[in-house]
Structure 1
Amino acid sequence: MSTRFSGKVAVVTGAAQGILRGVALGIAQEGGQVLLVDRAEFIHEVAAELPQGRGTGFIADLETYAGAHAAMARAMQLHGRIDLLINGVGGAIRMRPFAEFEAAQIDAEIRRSLMPTLYGCHAVLPHMLQQGRGTIVNVSSNATRGIRRVPYSAAKGGVNALTTALAMEYGEQGIRVVATAPGGTQAPPRRVPRNAEGDSAQEQAWMQEAVQQVTGSNFFKRYGTLEEQIAPILFIASDEASYITGAVLPVAGGDNG
């Protein structure tokens, strides 16, 4: 078994389900200590799945700066340092033509898919600067080129810009900032729905159009698997990628967004 994360302390956000759940498990299985952060109560169930003593759940609303600050403070309280921050909170709430979005819905998409990463990076920086090193991995998306989710696409474009700018600004201080840009990914049914209000028949039709675009645009003509998304994140988070910074790695079957 690999020990790439032996002795490392990682904060993984959005870890209650999907790709980031697998990332948290992978880091712990490879020797790391993990603080799993999510606003879903069952984050503690996920933490209990990690090897004994390797994971702790923490509930926080990462769409607020207070939530991001509290998560980093908890990691410091438990472990005294943060070596890795994996920012994974995000996801399109609705899929519809841009002209059909309401103003409040646009705001909600940006708040969901940009602000948790922006806040997380800002909240962890003082700790990494004090240590003189650290790695931030932002989970973005190839949906910067896609249909029926323009506000989400704009948010993920912001994540990409944040990644490159932050890497340039803090590289000399020993902080590495990288990202992956997943494409469409098969995953088990969500325990917390993407859109709490539910989707109308029209919205379901628009979503199907987006699905067809995603599968049609990639070279394999299929969705990726969770494992195909988790492995690249673990690689760029590890010291094996120590000379990679400011990069956004597309993991989308050739559709690079």
Structure 2
Amino acid sequence: MSVLGQILARKVTEVAERRRALPDAELAARAKDAPALRGFEAALSPPGGPTRIIAEVKRASPSAGAIDATLDAPAQARRYAEAGAAAISVLTDGPGFGGSLDDLRAVRAAVETPLLRKDFVVDAYQLLEARAAGADAALLIVAALSEDGLRRLLDRCGELGLAALVEVHDELDADVALRSGARIIGVNNRNLKTMTVNLATSERILPLLPEGVKGVAESGIRTPDDARRLRRAGAVNLLVGEALVRAADPGALVRELCG
């Protein structure tokens, strides 16, 4: 089984356990009382606009292993916000990334910047969790869902007011995302089967996105040179995680990546 397949199997079990502990109706009530939404989609650049950074809070990843196990999520988020990050991505997967919904709640209390819940969404229950914890957007991965499943989750995002960052890995994924009505498409430069990274994936796919769809380049962006390379391919929104967590001054790197 692939790394993604293993994660998804675990995620189905996790969601079932959390649902037993907190039924949908109770979670929906919490989501209804959540803080007002901030405009995640509006925070991103349209094609040709200025470079904007979605700065990520994460402690580990399956590919990199431990990055910073002691990372203070709200403190890191404040560094990003003060440096001008357009949005902040918070990893909420525990076993693979060292994150939790508590991190999302803490970051929400610390910054006014729009927040993305970064996780492996397999069930609409997780969208309720995202809204209740203060997220403004959720990640939906094409490779993790059927096309009908993606459409249903996109519809549910709309009902909850959440933006959806729809992640693709190749042209076929991009076609599915567009047919499903995605308004924000993230191109992940990491091959989820081999875990290798190639910035050429974004260079190849981002120019194919139609006018009106905002594109985001994800994974493998470490230096201003990487940002400039992707900018030439039309990438105006960059999701950056590991490089920022490892940086001695993450705020300075945010500003450098914006160029």
TM-score, length-scaled by structure 1: 0.35
**With CA pairs under 8 Å and 6+ residues apart, which has the higher RCO, 1 or 2?**
2
TM-score, length-scaled by structure 2: 0.35
